[in-house]
Structure 1
Amino acid sequence: MKLVHRNIFKELLSIFGLSVCCLLGLIIMGRMLQLRELFMSQNLGIMDLLQLFIFLCPFFMLLITPIACMLSVFLVFLRMNTDNEAIALKANGVSLYQLLPAPLAFSLLCTVLTFVVSFVGVSWGMDMFKAKIVEYARTRSKLAIQAGVFNRDFPNLTFYAKQVDSEKGEMRFVFVEDRTLKDTSVVIVAPYGRVETNPKEGEVGIVFRNGRIFRQHGDELNILQFGRYKVRLPLGKLLGGFSFDRDKPKEMSFFDLWELYRTPNDRMLHDTNYARKLETEFVKRWALPFGCLILGMFAFPIASVFRGLRQQYGLMLSMGLFLVYYSLFSVGTGLGEAGTLSPYIGLWLPNILFAIIAWVGIYYANMEKTIPLVTLIEHWRAKRAES
């Protein structure tokens, strides 16, 4: 049995790896299309894009791992039933319960992986992604200030610098015309400027030193001297509307969510919609990882029920079953964020429902009996075929 379990576990890992790569590639390609305006403004190479892909992976792995776990278990045991391997094992006195350790250990491994992604991976990936975007915007994008060129890429701002050190972000003899104020013209002249980035806030700021501000409003002209003056550039608007909101619950780590859940901040106390979203995300970070274990055990008996089904149809069936699970999960998420239903009920109900089906399915599959519901469906189909 150790040899059987080892071979099943290896096959589960190989299909899991293939499923994750395919699903991750499809999702990231779709995401990249949504962010095409963001990347069109960047002069990025292949390695730069690869880095950004890696940083986005944890965010999507939270969803991909449960479906990949279910696909792996379903396809492996569907193949074993189709190739009569399961029948041969049963003929030698091996029950379905004795085959359970391999998919159980595999599902637990996927659960642990998803917990790691849920607790720290999501926030780490999004923080690194935003930090890279800010860095590229400062040094490699079309938004980077070039020496001796009037830069008008920033809305209502014109920048000019006689000398620019792109590596250090330093500029000499800087001129800025600010037209952000209505009926007011502001010109900033300084001998020295420096680009400073704040990835968490999504800002690129240009700090001027020892310069002058010429402010004209109508016929009135004011001249101010300063030691330090900063112009902030919101990257979200400059880079295709990309959001740099650091308080988005979906991009927080589990520990940040837990801290806010225990000690609500001012935003949570005054914004009930935000508070509901944060609570729903907190519950989701627990419920979705357990979905790996439950879906893996759910796929185990389902493969026996549909033995003889071709691999391509089995793939479609398993995707359809996961779609049912995820639809219930999405409905629970929406109701939780809207305040209609507690997220503890809405997000755990799909897990409980599929866990019950898995337990009943394993019992009937081990007894080599058909689930009554499946019998009713087959009887209904037979009657329709006769008529």
Structure 2
Amino acid sequence: MFIRLLHRRVFGELFFIFLLSLASLLSLILIGRMLQLRELFLAQGLGLLEIAELFVYLSPFFMLLLIPIACMLSVFLVFLRMSTDRELLALRAGGVSLYQMLAAPVVFSILCTLLTAWVSFFGVSWGMDNFKSTVLEHIRTRTQLMLQPGVFNRDFPGLTLFAENVDPTNKHLKFVFVRDETRPGVSATIVAPEGVIATDTSKGQILFLLKDGHIYRSEKGKNGERLDVLGFSSYAVRLDLSKLFKGYRIGDEKPKEMSWARLHEVLDDPTYKDVDDGHFLQKVKVEIVKRQSMPVACLVLGLFAIPFAFAFQGLKQYLGLVMALVFFMVYYTMVSIGTSLGEINVLSPAVGLWTPNALFFVLALAGLRMAASEKFPNVMTFLSNIRLWRKK
């Protein structure tokens, strides 16, 4: 009965610190991202609720990394507090071994692992797909509002748009004129009796789909200017949003934003073999291994944090927070090195990304064994002895 109560109390404290750590870290990262995307938000005139919605969609992308950090922080800080407050000493004096205390942190770490696995396999792609589609919908709505009937619009770089009639309900345009100067040395004047505004989520583009019109194309060459006239039944004018928002790209297909199924589709598709000299496909292979290894990091780092909390008994909580972050930075540096070496095909992705987990797991098991037998060295006592020795 006492052990069960102990586990509930420890689990409750772990859960509280985990939520606090995750919320704090996520808020800091999202604020930084907001500063990066300020041109996008200001250009669209988004309100607080709309920005909050976009941040919800961005959150899973960052949680893949932040959940292991928060898991390690919560376990480290809880056991550091228990160690500093002599609660662990009292429990041992009462006959409770370290192994009997492991149920709560192990179950908690496993739950964090399952949460990270969901984010890794489903949450990242769900969030990024919704983020892109929502941004495009805001841009499309703004585009409709900017296209006033009978007014020449030059808000889009390289394009001049004109529509005699604009129907905001069904996105239809009547008697459309487009002057396209997006390509150096080539200009095109497009006229069409009707058109419609659409979005291409996969490529992150706004489309002006025109019907039954003509293109008057002028190109400057060595032999002078050449003029071509072409008729079309359908034609798409594509708006490059990266120019509109100073380099921010929505439609680029990046492995770290793909779904688990899409990663395997790309891996099995022979057309991607020579894209970017095979570098793109190598990134896909690394991302697949990373999506598998990151959830396991929660369990590994959670176990690692327990014995090392004993080593810093007597350390203040804010210094404990710093130490936990230092340990995680060591882990993340190893992961980053493994990722970089894997992407340039110097090291197998499996070796580069699973080695940090394996190393920290071995250290965790060795540390638990030493802590259970009360042989784990106390860093604070060691530092105090050094100070006393220097005073002599």
Classify the TM-score, shorter chain.
Answer: over 0.9
Alignment of 1:32-51 (within 5 A): 32-51=34-53
Secondary structure in structure 2 of the residue aligned to 1:140: helix
Who is 1:90 aligned against? 92
Structure 2 length-normalised TM: 0.91
Per mean C-alpha deviation after superposition, the further-off stretch among 100-109 and 236-245 is 236-245
Which of 151, 154, 157 pairs up with 1:152?
A: 154
1:276 counterpart = 2:282: yes
The CA deviation at 1:37 is: 2.2
- What is the identity, as a one-letter code, of the residue corresponding to 1:260? V
For these two proteins, the number of residue pairs brought into alignment is 385
Which of 259, 264, 272 pairs up with 1:258?
A: 264
Alignment of 1:53-72 (within 5 A): 53-72=55-74
Pick closer, same or farther for the CA change 1:183–1:269 going to 2, 3 Å.
Answer: closer
CA RMSD of aligned residues (A): 2.4
Does the aligned pair in 1 maintain the 2:312–2:380 contact within 8 Å? no
Does the aligned pair in 2 maintain the 1:209–1:226 contact within 8 Å? yes
Deviation string, structure 1 residues 56-81 (Cα, Å, up to 9, x no partner) = 00000000000000000011111111
Does the aligned pair in 2 maintain the 1:299–1:358 contact within 8 Å? yes
Who is 1:347 aligned against? 353
The CA deviation at 1:370 is: 2.3
- What is the identity, as a one-letter code, of the residue corresponding to 1:350? P
Which of 259, 263, 267 pairs up with 2:272?
A: 267
Does the aligned pair in 2 maintain the 1:304–1:365 contact within 8 Å? yes
Does the aligned pair in 2 maintain the 1:143–1:153 contact within 8 Å? no
Secondary structure in structure 2 of the residue aligned to 1:368: coil
Deviation string, structure 1 residues 102-139 (Cα, Å, up to 9, x no partner) = 00000000000000000011111111111111111111
Partners of 1:103 and 1:2 in 2: CA distance: 13
Partners of 2:126 and 2:146 in 1: CA distance: 26
Secondary structure in structure 2 of the residue aligned to 1:210: strand
The CA deviation at 1:362 is: 0.7
Who is 1:299 aligned against? 305
Structure 2 unaligned spans of 5+:
none
**After TM superposition, where is structure 1 displaced by more than 6 Å over at least 4 residues in a row?**
none
Who is 1:202 aligned against? 204
Who is 1:235 aligned against? 241
Alignment of 1:50-199 (within 5 A): 50-140=52-142, 144-182=146-184, 184-199=186-201
Who is 1:332 aligned against? 338
The CA deviation at 1:369 is: 1.3
Deviation string, structure 1 residues 168-217 (Cα, Å, up to 9, x no partner) = 32222222112235555432222321001111111111011233333456
The CA deviation at 1:258 is: 2.8
Secondary structure in structure 2 of the residue aligned to 1:44: coil
Partners of 1:350 and 1:225 in 2: CA distance: 61
Partners of 1:229 and 1:259 in 2: CA distance: 30
- What is the identity, as a one-letter code, of the residue corresponding to 1:316? V
Who is 1:314 aligned against? 320
Pick closer, same or farther for the CA change 1:205–1:101 going to 2, 3 Å.
Answer: same
Does the aligned pair in 2 maintain the 1:213–1:223 contact within 8 Å? yes
Q: Percent identity?
A: 49
Pick closer, same or farther for the CA change 1:381–1:335 going to 2, 3 Å.
Answer: farther
Does the aligned pair in 2 maintain the 1:62–1:118 contact within 8 Å? yes
Partners of 1:146 and 1:276 in 2: CA distance: 47
Secondary structure in structure 2 of the residue aligned to 1:150: coil
Secondary structure in structure 2 of the residue aligned to 1:347: helix
Deviation string, structure 1 residues 210-244 (Cα, Å, up to 9, x no partner) = 33333456777655443322211122332221223
Partners of 1:303 and 1:57 in 2: CA distance: 29
Secondary structure in structure 2 of the residue aligned to 1:180: strand
Partners of 2:389 and 2:355 in 1: CA distance: 34
Secondary structure in structure 2 of the residue aligned to 1:243: coil
Per mean C-alpha deviation after superposition, the further-off stretch among 298-307 and 64-73 is 298-307
Partners of 1:196 and 1:306 in 2: CA distance: 59
Does the aligned pair in 2 maintain the 1:361–1:371 contact within 8 Å? no
Per mean C-alpha deviation after superposition, the further-off stretch among 23-32 and 178-187 is 178-187
Pick closer, same or farther for the CA change 1:52–1:307 going to 2, 3 Å.
Answer: same
Deviation string, structure 1 residues 4-38 (Cα, Å, up to 9, x no partner) = 10111111111111111100011111112122222
Structure 1 length-normalised TM: 0.92
Partners of 1:6 and 1:30 in 2: CA distance: 36
Secondary structure in structure 1 of the residue aligned to 2:166: strand
Per mean C-alpha deviation after superposition, the further-off stretch among 12-21 and 336-345 is 336-345
Structure 1 unaligned spans of 5+:
none
Pick closer, same or farther for the CA change 1:135–1:304 going to 2, 3 Å.
Answer: same
Partners of 1:94 and 1:179 in 2: CA distance: 77
Secondary structure in structure 2 of the residue aligned to 1:308: coil
